[in-house]
Structures are given as C-alpha cells and as structure tokens.
Amino acid sequence: VLTGATSATLRFPADFLWGAATAAYQIEGAATEGGRTPSIWDTFSRTPGRVRTGDTGDIATDHYHHFREDVALMADLGLKAYRFSVSWPRVQPTGRGPALERGLDFYRRLVDELLTAGITPLLTLYHWDLPQELEDAGGWPARDTASRFADYAALVARALGDRVPMWTTLNEPWCSAFLGYGSGVHAPGRTNAADALRAAHHLNLAHGRATIALRAVLPSTAQLSITLNLAAVSAHTTSPEDLEAARRIDGLANRIFLNPLFHRQYPDDLLKDTAHITDWSFVHEPDLADIGQRVDFLGINYYSPTAVAAADSSRPSPDTAQPGAWPGCDNISFPPVPGQRTAMDWPVDSGGLHQLLLRLRDELPALPLIITENGAAYEDHCEPNGTVHDPERIAYLQAHLEAVHRACADGADVRGYFVWSLLDNFEWAHGYSKRFGLVHIDFASQRRTPKDSARWYANIIHTGTLARRRCTG
Ligand code: GBH
C-alpha cells in the first residue's frame, strides 16, 4: 500500500520495480560483428540527410563490448530491473530461418550478468530495428512481416525463456508505423498514409501472434506485455472543432492500438475518418482474436502532453506535429504548450502522465501498468573529469515520479518505473546531439560517468521514498 511516509516524503511500495531502459540500436554498436546484418536503421542512418550530422549506430556506446561494465554501473545504482531490446538482425540476420547462435550468445551473457547482479531483465523483442531483408520484402505494410515476427519471438524465447521473466513484444508501434511509413522521419523513411495504417495493423497482428508464440514456449510465470507511447491528448479549447480534432488524434495515437488489444475491434470513428485513405480490407476477421491476447501488464512511455486544436490560421504553425504522421489530419494543429521545454523542445508537464494513468485506471481497471520510459534530454555540461550536474533532469524526473505516486494514490495500478535512458545514446534522427542518459558517455573514449541524476535516482531506489519538492511559490 502506498503511503506518504511523512508530509515531506512520498513512499513507494517495497516491491516497486525501479529500472532504467535502453534499446539495441541506440547503444550496442558492433553493427557488423558476429554475423549481424543491417536493419532498417543501419540503412536509414547511412543515407545522407536522414540523421543529423550523419551519425549512425555503428559504434554508439559500444555496449556490445562494454556490457559487463554497464551491468556493474546498474548494480552501483541499485537498479532492480533493466529494460533492453534484442537486435533482430543480430539473432536472425535475414528475418527468417534458424537462429544465429553467436548473436543469441551475446544476450545470454548479458542476461546472466544481470541475474548475477540481482537485476531483473525486461526484454523487448522489437525496438525498431527490422532486418533490412524484411523491409525489402515489404516491411510492416506487408502482412507476412507479422508472421516473421512471431517466428523470431519464438526463437528468442527458446534461447532465453529459462532466465528472462518479463517480455515486451513491441516498443511504440505508433512510431514504427507513423514515423517510419507516414512522416518518414524514422526508418525506413517511407511516406504513404495508407501504408502507415497497414503497418499499424500488421504491428498489432505481430504483437498478437508473437504473444501466442511466447505463451507456447515460455514458462507459465512469464509476464508478457506491449509498450505503447500513448498520447496524453487534450483539446486546446472546449469548442466543438477542437474537441473533434482531439478525438481524431486520440483515435490515431491511442485507440488504434488500445481498442484491438483490449476490446478486439478498431474504433468505428477511426475507420470512418480514414475511409478516404484505405478501406481497411487488410484487417482479416480472425486477426482481432489474435491481437486481443491477454497481456500481464501494459508498458507506457511518456515524455510530454499533446494539445490538439482545429487548424486555425491565426495561430502559429503546428508545434510538435510531424507532417504525414497523422493520416487524414491536415486540418488539425498542435498548438504549443506553454512552459518549460527540454532540449528536444518537448514541453515539460507531468500532469499529462497523471491524466493518462487515471484514464487507464478507468478504461482498463484490471491491468497492471509499468512506466517503461520517462526521461528528458538537456544540454549537459560535462566537466573535464566527466562530471555532469543536471538539476533540470532531476527536476523533470522528480515531477514525473510525483505524478506517478499521485496516480497510484488515486487508484492507478503502477508497478514500476524505468528512466529513459541508462546511458546517453543514439537518439534516432537526432543522432548523438541529444543526451537522455543518467550516465554520461564520452563518445570519443567510451568513458562512462554517472551524472548527478544517477546518484539522485540511486538514493530514491535505496530509500523507496521521494522527498517532496519544497513549494517555491
Ligand atoms: C521514445 O520515443 C523511444 O522509445 C526511445 O527509443 C527514444 O530514444 C526516446 O523516446 C526519446 O526520444 O512529433 O508527432 O512525433 C518517443 C517518441 C516522441 C513520439 C514525441 C511522439 C511527439 C509527437 N515520441 N513524439 S510527433
């Protein structure tokens, strides 16, 4: 039971799962070692103009060679859990056929190291690195990719199922579908609204079929999940036009995943709003039963809120919205949310996280939740010895943990929280220019140095309490 220990501190349950997260392409490097083949992110990042300053994940934080040191860092911080992803092309290079045992061995060693350190592994099967061969065969808009993913899931489960207790199928399918095939800002960089919607469905199907495959292989105690980047949507005003705009964005960001996953149907309004783009004939009747498999928890990634308005020429142009990422929403805008911003230019507002958690409490009352990502990039200033004082990051994390605590007190069933990210890393289209880590990386020397925020987080984990911020008026 959640309590305020004193009026000045907030106590979390003793079994709360405190962790940090990473993803394979963002940290591993060793892009051509051990028989690994290119993923769509290798191809994309090697294409001039796609990633800021031409950065690639070829070396990244070289975690592939530094994983023992990185697990030791996690142990120093007292992490209870570590969320990482498996690189599909490292363990099944063509996306089909037998496993590459050398690739699986890397994850066997990593997991063994974690278990020895008393850290619970939370394994994500897909954090955006589709084998390039599967993209060449059609990628996520192709139905077959869902079957390929289920086979890959079974292959990883057979190798690691005896020692990984927590599994996530997909990380943020919204990004894979709508940034990968809609706005083209993420790999594979395609821009077609109908393909983006097809991709979303096939990602849902991939999740469902992989969940069936995992249940068949894993021990009955395994906990299965999917991670969504749900949008904390709010209408800019209560005008009917703004409310309508918010409904449409909610459909494309949230209900396109939540409804098939938990109610075995796509929302009628979404189908209607997008009927001029696609007839949705790629949804076959049995798909919905496959998609709606039971999961043991839902992972939520949250960074900032999403204000939505009907397009209005008197307002500044859309703020965070990626053109093309929202099929059929050309007359909708994202008015800037006032207040502080991170180095990503994302607004800071922990109220959105609280709002989202209460919505899930109301709509999916029996479902345990885990915050699988939350964190912020800031312009870190690194001293010559590697030290980084990052009070803004601490303030961001503090505010969001308070929001989680408040949501729990209000009845949301949140079981854990993972900071994005353990390490500074390859921030996708931004390359290495944005730093989200608790631990600073000197990319020239690969030296790791915990930032002030890492020490602060370690203390929270150690005490299980958060000192409430002084009210500064
Ligand atoms: C996560 O994505 C990723 O899982 C992680 O790998 C990444 O490093 C981390 O966050 C930090 O970026 O402008 O229309 O796209 C978060 C992706 C960012 C997607 C904000 C939605 C706003 C809407 N989200 N974005 S839009």
Distance 220 CA to ligand 1 centre (A): 33
Which residue shows structure tokens 């969940």? Answer: 211
Model pLDDT, residue 470: 61
Q: How far is the CA of 322 from the centre of ligand 1 (A)?
A: 11
Measure the CA–CA gap between 433 and 343, rounded to whole angstroms.
10
Question: What pLDDT score was predicted for residue 255?
Answer: 98
Which residues sit with their C-beta closer than 6 Å to ligand 1? 23, 171-172, 175, 179, 229, 301, 303, 320-322, 325, 373, 420, 427, 436
- How far, in Å, CA of 354 to CA of 103, rounded? 40
pLDDT value of residue 7: 63
Question: Which residues, at least 6 apart from 232, have a Cβ–Cβ distance to it below 8 Å?
Answer: 302, 305, 306, 352, 353, 355, 356
Q: What is the pLDDT of residues 446-465, one digit of tens each?
A: 999 999 999 999 999 999 99
Note the pLDDT of residue 473: 34
DSSP secondary structure, 184-244, as one string: -SSTT----HHHHHHHHHHHHHHHHHHHHHHHHHS-TT-EEEEEE----EEESSSSHHHHH
Rounded CA-CA distance 237/143 in Å is: 40
Ligand 1, atom nearest to 322 Cα? 14
Shortest-distance atom of ligand 1 to CA 377? 11
Helix (H) or strand (E) holding 170: strand 166-171
CA angle at 91 for the pair 90 and 96, rounded to the nearest 5°: 110
The span from the CA of 408 to the CA of 399, in Å, is 14
- Are 333 and 378 in contact by the 8 Å Cβ rule? The answer is no
Atom 15 in ligand 1: residue holding the nearest Cα: 322
The amino acid sitting at 60 is A
SS3 call for 123? strand
Phi, psi dihedral angles at 415 (to 5 degrees) = -100, -15
Give the CA radius of gyration of the chain.
21
Q: Specify the pLDDT at position 472.
A: 46
Q: CA–CA separation, 420 vs 459, rounded Å? A: 17
What atom of ligand 1 comes closest to residue 304's alpha carbon?
Answer: 20
Going by C-alpha positions, the residue among 255, 244, 256, 321 that lies closest to residue 283 is: 256
Residue nearest to atom 8 of ligand 1 (CA): 427
* Best mutation site among 41, 55, 303 for ligand 1 pocket (most ligand atoms within 8 Å of CB): 303
Ligand 1 centroid to residue 39 C-alpha, Å: 19
Q: Which of 373, 396, 427 best tests ligand 1's pocket when mutated (most atoms within 8 Å of CB)? A: 373
Alpha carbons 65 and 197: distance in angstroms, whole number: 38
Paired tokens of 297: 């928890």
Helices (H) and strands (E) in the chain, counts: 16, 16
Atom number of ligand 1 nearest to Cα 428: 8
Q: Which ligand 1 atom sits nearest the alpha carbon of residue 172?
A: 4
User: Residue 379: CB partners within 8 Å, gap ≥ 6?
Assistant: 343
Q: How far is the CA of 434 from the centre of ligand 1 (A)?
A: 12
Distance 186 CA to ligand 1 centre (A): 10
Residue having the nearest C-alpha atom to atom 11 of ligand 1 = 427
Residue whose CB lies within 8 A of the most ligand 1 atoms, among 179, 301, 432, 441, for a mutation test: 301
DSSP label at residue 49: T
Q: Which atom of ligand 1 is nearest to the CA of 320?
A: 13
Position 363, amino acid: E
Residues annotated catalytic, as ranges = 373
> What are the backbone angles phi and psi of residue 199, rounded to the nearest 5°?
-60, -45
55, 169, 229, 423, best to mutate for ligand 1 pocket (most atoms within 8 Å of CB): 229
Q: Which residues of the chain have pLDDT under 70?
A: 1-7, 313-321, 470-473
Closest protein CA for atom 12 of ligand 1: 427
Identify whether the C-beta of residue 245 lies closer than 8 Å to the C-beta of residue 332: yes
The ipTM is: 0.93
Report the DSSP pairing between strands 3-6 and 120-126. Answer: unpaired
